């Protein structure tokens, strides 16, 4: 059934210790406003950890991009990888609110062999089920971060669990965007094995607070326990 993967968002090198000590498996670096961070930040984070580091590629607060931005995004991606990152996170929609497979494949092709995660743009598509089918054929894709709704898992949980009934979706799904402890066992039963944590691992849920090892550890134990229970149930 495989081990659970915990991805933790870091905004500052001082977030790294808490994430690492608490049992995170991967770090996601972004700016405080959810956009691409400065390469110096990525370099500093990578210097602080041996965990795999992924970095957000996004230059504006929409899910669309332009030719000029694509060139800059590719350059940023190369900078991040040169600083020690091993993967990227990006995702774009076209004018019809469909997954822009052409742009995503183009960017992935400029950075061949680099694993990447499709971000929460999928939650803003008009037909998420159709969007998932389009995503499955993208090269290098290792996960899709989703809350099932632009308003987060509080609203989208039921739809996302239903979508995860497809084994191909479950393999890629990385629930994020308001994940709650009670969601985890249901996702594990659906064979989801990756989980994204953001504010949940910061005291008070504040982005001004650094990632706390105790908070991360509680999620580590929660995921591991849910996996052990699922294994016993299957046996």
* pLDDT value, residue 61: 87
Q: In terms of DSSP H, where are the helices of the chain?
A: 16-22, 39-48, 67-82, 101-110, 128-135, 153-163, 167-172, 183-189, 213-234
* pLDDT value, residue 1: 37
Q: Which residue ranges make up each domain of the chain? A: 5-234
Give me the CATH topology for the region 5-234. Answer: TIM Barrel (3.20.20)
pTM for the predicted model, two decimal places? 0.94
| Residues 113, 120 contacting (CB under 8 angstroms) | no
Per-residue pLDDT of the chain (235 residues), as tens digits, is: 348 999 999 999 999 999 999 999 999 999 999 999 999 999 999 999 999 999 999 999 889 888 888 999 999 999 999 999 999 999 999 989 999 999 999 999 999 899 999 999 999 999 988 999 999 989 899 999 999 999 999 999 999 999 999 999 999 999 999 999 999 999 999 999 999 999 999 999 999 999 999 999 999 999 999 999 988 887 6
| Residues 219, 197 contacting (CB under 8 angstroms) | yes
* pLDDT value, residue 102: 92
Sorted by sequence, the CB contacts under 8 Å of residue 233 that are 6+ apart come out as none
């Amino acid at each position: 059934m495989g081990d659970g993967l915990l991805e933790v968002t870091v905004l500052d090198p001082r977030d790294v210790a808490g994430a690492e000590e608490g049992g995170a498996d991967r770090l996601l670096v972004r700016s405080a406003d959810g956009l691409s961070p400065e390469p110096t930040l990525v370099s500093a984070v990578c210097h602080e950890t041996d965990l795999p580091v992924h970095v957000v590629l996004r230059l504006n607060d929409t899910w669309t991009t332009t030719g000029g931005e694509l060139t800059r995004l590719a350059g940023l991606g190369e900078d991040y990888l040169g600083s020690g990152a091993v993967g990227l996170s990006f995702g774009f929609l076209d004018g019809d609110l469909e997954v822009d497979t052409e742009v995503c494949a183009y960017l992935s092709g400029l950075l061949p062999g680099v694993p990447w995660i499709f971000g929460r743009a999928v939650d803003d598509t008009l037909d998420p089920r159709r969007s998932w089918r389009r995503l499955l054929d993208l090269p290098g894709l290792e996960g899709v971060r989703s809350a099932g709704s632009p308003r987060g898992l509080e609203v989208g949980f039921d739809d996302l669990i239903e979508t995860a009934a497809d084994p191909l979706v479950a393999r890629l799904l990385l629930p994020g965007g308001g994940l709650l402890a009670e969601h985890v066992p249901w996702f594990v039963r659906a064979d989801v094995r990756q989980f994204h944590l953001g504010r949940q691992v910061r005291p008070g849920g504040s982005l001004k607070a650094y990632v706390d090892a105790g908070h991360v550890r509680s999620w580590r134990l929660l995921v591991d326990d849910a996996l052990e229970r699922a294994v016993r149930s299957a046996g």
